[in-house]
Amino acid sequence: MTDAAEPARTAAALLQWYWDMGVDVAVDDVATDRFAGTAPAALLPSPVAADAAPARPVDFVRTAGAAGFSGGADSADAAADQARIAARSAGSLEALRALMETFEGCALRATAKHLVFADGNPRARVMLVGEAPGAEEDRSGVPFVGRSGQLLDRMLAAIGLDRTQVYIANIVPWRPPGNRTPTPQETAVCLPFVTRQIALADPDILVCLGGPSAQTLLGFKDGIMRSRGRFVSYDTGTRNIQAIASLHPAYLLRQPLQKRLAWRDLKAIRTALGSAPGPR
């Protein structure tokens, strides 16, 4: 006898598989059979009149972004070049955010719900940079608001800080589908924006949370367990500031015994701040 609940379990398992694979965004309101012999009329191109104006040239960078850099390294390089030009033109954090809202050179923008730009106080002496937003951050547009964000808040409180006394951002400001790791091309395209964000915020101390952030911004080759806990110099373009790598709160949720190492890093940050941890 067939279990009446089996179709529901099968459908739930299929939906979970789609979610795990990163398929979490609907393209159309109505499902379309892409394997059908003919496309629905609404998706077919309209006939072009003989006297119609010639087609507009394709925006190379926009096409590269929409295709996920399927054109290869040249497409990714072109998008990164456009990002560098755009980032340099931003004279304030507000202008930078506005530019990023309209930037189409990164394919992640097409699948993300929100740009996750920053949180906290842009005039704070400490800036923390993670890797990329998760699902909760994507929904809210604010970095570090999920379980890892709650842990980060407790970590900051342990050294007398809160979100009014730090500035928080990510290397990649758009959520990768399914919370996958950003590709090197996606990171390269977003890098000019975060480096400009750091320069405009001009913190005294830069904290890279996790290996990808430390490797991207500080050039570390070793894993985070070997690179964490030591201060190095970071050039913002106008001055050198102190920078340190530490463990990402998401990693600490999986490996709670490593919180002792994070605590050492937090104490080092507090010592470096001295007696005035607030805004400049």
CA atoms of 221 and 70, how far apart (whole Å) = 28
pLDDT at 203 > cutoff 70: yes
Return the CA Rg of the chain: 22
Q: 47: which residues sit within 8 A by CB, 6+ positions away?
A: none
pLDDT at 129 > cutoff 60: yes
The pTM for the full model equals: 0.74
pLDDT value for 111:
95
What CATH number is given for 115-273 in this structure? 3.40.470.10
Q: Which tokens is 138 given?
A: 């994507």
Please write the tens of the pLDDT for every residue from 65-117.
Answer: 433 444 456 788 899 999 999 999 999 999 999 999 999 999 999 999 999 99
pLDDT value for 201:
98
Maximum average pLDDT range among 34-43, 45-54, 270-279:
270-279
Please write the tens of the pLDDT for every residue from 226-246.
Answer: 999 999 999 999 999 999 999
pLDDT value for 35:
54
Q: 227: which residues sit within 8 A by CB, 6+ positions away?
A: 211, 214, 218, 220, 245
Any idea where the domains of the chain sit in the sequence? 115-273
pLDDT value for 93:
98
pLDDT at 11 > cutoff 90: no
Mean pLDDT of the chain: 84
Band (pLDDT 50/70/90 cuts) for residue 6 is confident
Band (pLDDT 50/70/90 cuts) for residue 253 is very high
Q: Give rounded-to-5 percent helix, strand, coil for the chain.
A: 45, 10, 45
